[in-house]
Amino acid sequence: MRPWSVLNVAMQNPMESWAFLRWAIHDPMGSRHYFIDRWKHRDWHIRMYPVDHDWRMRIGSTDDDRKQTEQLWPSVLRRLEEQGLRPGPESYFFWNDGDPAFIQAIWCLVRRLQATKVVETGVAHGVTSRFILEALGMRGGHLWSIDLPPPGSPEKHHEIGAAVIDRTNWTLLLGSSRQHLPHLLKEVGPIDIFIHDSEHSSTNMLFEMRLAWEALRPGGALIVDDIDLNWAFGEFSKQIKCEKLVAEAEPIRPDLRRFNQKGLFGVLLKPQSSAMKP
């Protein structure tokens, strides 16, 4: 890749290049892999992750799910804004809050699977945590969340979970998923739903998905955000037999770093009767 061609691309897409540069400063390794993949195989996302436009129907999302999440959004956004926090893409360093489509998928699955045990990694402002707790609250249940706030920025640690109001059914573990996830899953498993939204390196995603799949009860769901950042979700889903869905995120502002300016998330539904191992 020659410097002039990089400059040429940057001049053609100034906003996108600026977003990339900020991301590269915060996450040099992750952004480098993503950028090289994009450069070498411009259409790998499309080949690896054909979008299931009917994902709502396939997970059984109803009008009620949409209405209920839409009703809750204004109060979640207000709570963040009252604390001076800007929701949406790049809201906590270079990380994004859960977008409305991702939230709708989570909401629907928590309700449809009658989940009582949910584990998530990656909390940031706690948008996903808040919606999970509200969806669980209707029948009782518990959410365990793991987050490793950036150690170099202690002044931002109080923002973790800012969107959550009622913490009764919530356990927040501070530290990396590598540190907490193995014994948490041993202690609380089998679980109904696992959500990955922490460090999106392929190593970490594979580590979390493998552990979580084992701890998931038959019929449970694994929901993975930002799958378009690397090949991990595609590789993992090839190793197991299950229903796989790829959905487009619907961010409240375009995410200029992404190939489709939105991002993708994935859902894996564990068969009802199997003890399949990856």
Residues that bind ligand SAM (CB under 6 A): 92, 95-98, 121-128, 146-149, 176-177, 197-199, 204
Whether 133 contacts 117, CB under 8 Å: no
For ligand SAM, the nearest residue by Cβ is 98
Instruction: Report in angstroms how near the CB of residue 175 gets to ligand SAM at its nearest.
Output: 7
Measured in degrees and rounded to the nearest 5, phi and psi for residue 220 equal -80, 175
What letter would DSSP give residue 99?
P
For tokens 């489509």, name the residue: 101
Instruction: Report in angstroms how near the CB of residue 173 gets to ligand SAM at its nearest.
Output: 9
- 10 Å CB burial of residue 112 (0-12, 13-18, 19+) is middle
In whole angstroms, what is the distance from residue 258 CA to residue 267 CA? 19
Nearer to ligand SAM, 51 or 172 (CB): 172
Nearer to ligand SAM, 149 or 251 (CB): 149
Instruction: Report in angstroms how near the CB of residue 149 gets to ligand SAM at its nearest.
Output: 5
Instruction: Report in angstroms how near the CB of residue 257 gets to ligand SAM at its nearest.
Output: 13
SS3 223: strand
CA atoms within 13 A on the CB side of 110: 32
Nearer to ligand SAM, 123 or 216 (CB): 123
Instruction: Report in angstroms how near the CB of residue 201 gets to ligand SAM at its nearest.
Output: 8
Nearer to ligand SAM, 8 or 179 (CB): 179
In whole angstroms, what is the distance from residue 102 CA to residue 82 CA? 24
Measured in degrees and rounded to the nearest 5, phi and psi for residue 57 equal -65, -40
Nearer to ligand SAM, 199 or 255 (CB): 199
